Amino acid sequence: PGSYGGPRPTMSVFADLNVPVDAKLDASSVPQRLLMLHKLGYGAAAISQSLSGKTPAQVPNITGVPHRVPGLPDTFKQYSRITVQIDDSREAFILNGTCPVLRDFDVIAVRPTNEKLFAQCCSSLEVDIISLDLSARLPYFLKAPPVGQAIERGIYFEICYSAAIQDSNARRNLISNALSLVRISRGRNIILSSQAESAMLFRSPYDVANLTRLFGFTLAAAKEAVQSNTRGVLLHATMRGHTMKGVVGVAIADTPEAMEEES
């Protein structure tokens, strides 16, 4: 896997942090999807692999994922992401901050499948994103205490929109579940991602911002969800990486003020 991007993006960059690729999805489509994102106005993307079940000794290497796509400017940043689905508490140990399997990824996301694991993700697991399948009916109700814990810890919740473009039932579920998440979180710490397996399913940042109004976002929260909150995810990932390596201090370039000066 490894890091594709190096320095984090500037404050003004739109980012899609969920461009999926796995053994079943042809990695040759990645360049086309990244070029489409750039055309739509994005300046960064995270290539996301999935992991579920028993933890392997290493994450399978997806061949064909380019580190640099011809036609993309050098300013377009690529990041690596792993999304871990956990079905029981025994699988959660991989996310305790010490597992070497995940250390090469820039962003760590988790998809819990029940309420107990959701609460554990919010309260103690070392992740950057909690990604729920909001296009399907959730098997439990979202509650304010665990959501509040995650927000206090700097973790972000992800809403993925591509499934809703293709299916009316998925669209109804997404709107209902997103309304609940936005109400409980008060619109804080939410990012919008595509999870698009095809370039045709991407939408521009401004179309995505308009979509958030269906989820109950205010104008200010909508802007944060499609822009500054993705930057927050990358900052959280950087801090988590420092902690895992035992670094106490943070370089001045990692502070929001310094990064704003970079832009």
pLDDT for res 226? 84
| Crossing angle (nearest 10°) for helices 168-185 and 144-152 | 70
Torsion from C-alpha of 194, 19, 230, 176, nearest 10 degrees: 30
Stretch (H or E) spanning 40: helix 30-40
Whether the CB-CB separation of 202 and 226 falls below 8 Å is answered with: no
pLDDT for res 62? 61
Compute mean pLDDT per 10 residues along the chain, 263 residues long, and list them.
Answer: 45 87 73 95 93 65 70 92 89 80 88 94 95 93 96 97 92 95 95 94 93 89 88 92 45 39 42
Rounded to a whole number, what is the distance in angstroms from the first to the last CA of the chain?
28
What are the DSSP calls for 122-190, one per residue? Answer: HHT---SEEE--TTS--SS---HHHHHHHHHTT-EEEEE-HHHHH-HHHHHHHHHHHHHHHHHHTT-SE
pLDDT for res 40? 96
pTM of the model: 0.85
Give the Cα separation of 43 and 174 in Å (integer). Answer: 26
pLDDT for res 246? 41
Whether the CB-CB separation of 260 and 235 falls below 8 Å is answered with: no
